Structures are given as C-alpha cells and as structure tokens.
Structure 1
Amino acid sequence: MQAGPASPARNKTPMEGGASFSARHRCYRAAFGIVWLLLARWTPPCCHGWRRWVLRLFGARLHSTSRIYSSARIWCPAHLLMDCHATIGPRVNCYNIAPLRIAAYAIVSQDAELVTGSHDPDNPAHPLVAAPITLGAHSWIAAGAFVGPGVTVGRGAVLGARCVCFKDCEEASIYIGNPARLLRRRNITF
C-alpha cells in the first residue's frame, strides 16, 4: 500500500514539523523579542521602570516596585504577574506558556528556570502541556534552581541553588537537591 500525499503544513502536528502555537501568537512573541532586544536588553541594572514599561506594552501585569533584570528571558509577557517588590534576577529563564505569578517580595535569583510547559510522554505525538507556576510571598528561588509546571512555592519557602522542583513546596521551608527534598523549616516570621 502506497502512502498518500503529504498533508499541508497547516495540518501537520508538531511532531511532523507543524507549529505548536498560532501564527498570531508567534508574531506576538517575535515582536516582543525584537522590542526587548532593541529597547530593554541592553539597559543598565537601574532601569527597572523602563523594562516594566516595555513588558506592560505586551500585557505583563507588574507592580510599580517589581524588578526585572535586562538579561532575563520572558517567553510570554501576557502570562507574567508580579506583585510589589518581586524580583526576576539576571539570566532567569521564564518559559511561561502558562501563567506565572510572583508574589510580593519573592526573589528569583540568577540563572533560575521557571518552566510552565512540558510534553506528554504518554502520547506518541508528545503534545505540549502547560500548568501555571505560583511563587508565594517572600519565597526565594536560589541561583540555578529549576521550577517545573504546576508548582506552587509556598510563602517564605526557599529552593536552594540548583534545586529541581516538580512538586509544591510548603510555606517557610527550605528545599535542596534533585529532586527537591525538604531540608528543614525556616525559623522566620513575616
């Protein structure tokens, strides 16, 4: 039996080279990438207000005291919500295909990864799946830590450096390792 003609590009699955996102969404992200490169990527560390303005142009909801460093990578500004004094540090990768909320005084340190998307390993087509990430108030994602899809980091929780987290973190607790495991409770009041 001979195979039929190849399906048109618009009917291809991502496994066959088709797009995972609409053309409109891809244009939005391309426009944001160009604007970020031209207007924000090169700015000095003190220009948080300017970078907030650029992100808000593309739908980000940012408190006026939130801080985003110029080397941070934001995949979709419209899915970013940051409360007062929340910080995204240098070289942080926010692959936020689903909503990403960073609550008040939460800190995401340099080189951390916040990834709201993955692929379904049980489906041969490996479709993209997404779930939101929430970082609670006063939480701290330390340098190089990884937070996976659907994770809620509780108020005051700490993910240690290079920690890999795929499960929710309790409030006021410190996690270390790969996979993340509870080290101890924090001796702190907010």
Structure 2
Amino acid sequence: MRVRNDQFDPTKGLDRGRPRWVEAIWYLAKCVFFLSAFPWPSGWRVALLRRFGARIGQGVYIKPRVNIHFPWKLMVGDYSWIGEEAFILNFEPVAIGAHACISQRAFLCTGNHDFRDPAMTYRNAPITVGDGAWIGAQCFVGPGVTVGDEAVATAGSIVTGDLPAGMICAGHPCAPVKPRWSEK
C-alpha cells in the first residue's frame, strides 16, 4: 500500500457545523479581533465568540492572538483563561471547564488523519479539559483526550492520552508525575 492523497475527500468525516459564508465572516472577525496583536478588550472577544455560537461562561479572559477554528464547537466554563497565541483547532467539540487555564502557545488539536488508510481519511475526536485544569505553555493536546479536573500538563508536554484528575503530568508522552495538591 501507498499513500494516495489524491483520494482524500475533505467532505468525508468533517462536519463543519455552519455554512461556508458563516465561516468566512468568522475568519474576517478572527483576523481583526483575535489574531491581531492589538490589545482588543477580552470582553469583545468573548462577545464575538458568543455571537458565533460558542458557549462561554462568565469571567472568561482571552488574550490576544488566540486562534479558534470553529467557535460554534467551543465551550469554556466560568473564570477560565486562554493565553496568548493558544490555538484551538476544533473540528470536533472542545470543552474547557471552569477555572481552567490554557497557557500561551498551547495547541488543542481535535483533527487528525488515519495514516493507516491510503486515502488519509479524517480521524478527528473531541477534547475535554476539566475544571481547574492547567495546560502549560506550548503543550500539544491531541484528538480524543480528556484532561481530568485539577490536572496539570506541564509546559512543552505532548498529551496524546487521558490525564487523571488532580495529577501533575509531564513529558512526551505526557504521564502522571505526582499529585497536584498535597495533603497537609
């Protein structure tokens, strides 16, 4: 067998969730208010995400240059933070719990291809980040991952499997190291 990119069908296995014209308008809004380094107020970005169908809780803070692919497939809980240059490639739903932190340049990626299929069909899956979880700077979180409540993925980690609640996790592949909160 050999890879046959000419057989790839971009319409198969991907529900865009909105018409192309809505995507185009979102892209323009994203370029001006999200990808720009200009410090637009976070509240404006939150309001725009809600207008495009995202479910955003109260007190959410979004820094400049955040790239969100499909806002209508995004849920962010109360008082969560999304850091500068974070990228949420959400072909499938991404749910970020309350009081969670997605640090700068973190990449939450729900999209993938089946490398065992010569046509490289999509193999996408949702991502869930639990309440109080922290995704460190420059982490990669892959399709189908659930990060447990209060878990931490340390900076630069590669998260390709679920992370247990309440644990500090690190490395490539990211794995539990020790409890986040020690008993006193």
The normalised TM-score by structure 1 is 0.84
**Is 1:129 the counterpart of 2:120 in the alignment?**
no
Q: Summarize the Cα distance change of 1:41–1:174 in structure 2 as closer, same or farther, 3 Å threshold.
A: same
Q: Sequence identity of aligned pairs in percent?
A: 34
What residue is the counterpart of 1:44 in the other structure? 39
**Is 1:177 the counterpart of 2:171 in the alignment?**
yes
**CA offsets, 1:94-145, max 9 Å, x none?**
0000000010000000000000110011211011121110100110000000
SS at match of 1:126: coil
Q: Structure 1: any 5+ residue segments left out of the alignment?
A: 1-12
- Does the aligned pair in 2 maintain the 1:172–1:188 contact within 8 Å? no
Structure 1 residue identity aligned to 2:164? E
Pick 1 or 2: higher relative contact order, CA cutoff 8 A, min separation 6.
2
The alpha-carbon deviation at position 16 of structure 1 amounts to: 4.8
The normalised TM-score by structure 2 is 0.87
Aligned residues: 176
The alpha-carbon deviation at position 15 of structure 1 amounts to: 3.5
- Does the aligned pair in 2 maintain the 1:14–1:127 contact within 8 Å? no
The alpha-carbon deviation at position 37 of structure 1 amounts to: 2.0
Q: Summarize the Cα distance change of 1:19–1:25 in structure 2 as closer, same or farther, 3 Å threshold.
A: farther
Structure 2 residue identity aligned to 1:141? I
Q: Structure 2: any 5+ residue segments left out of the alignment?
A: none
The alpha-carbon deviation at position 22 of structure 1 amounts to: 7.6
The alpha-carbon deviation at position 19 of structure 1 amounts to: 3.7
SS at match of 2:178: strand
What residue is the counterpart of 1:96 in the other structure? 90
Separation in structure 2 between the aligned mates of residue 102 and residue 110 of structure 1, nearest angstrom: 15
**Is 1:156 the counterpart of 2:150 in the alignment?**
yes
Separation in structure 2 between the aligned mates of residue 90 and residue 116 of structure 1, nearest angstrom: 19
- Does the aligned pair in 1 maintain the 2:84–2:103 contact within 8 Å? yes
**Structure (1 or 2) with the larger CA radius of gyration:** 1
Structure 2 residue identity aligned to 1:87? W
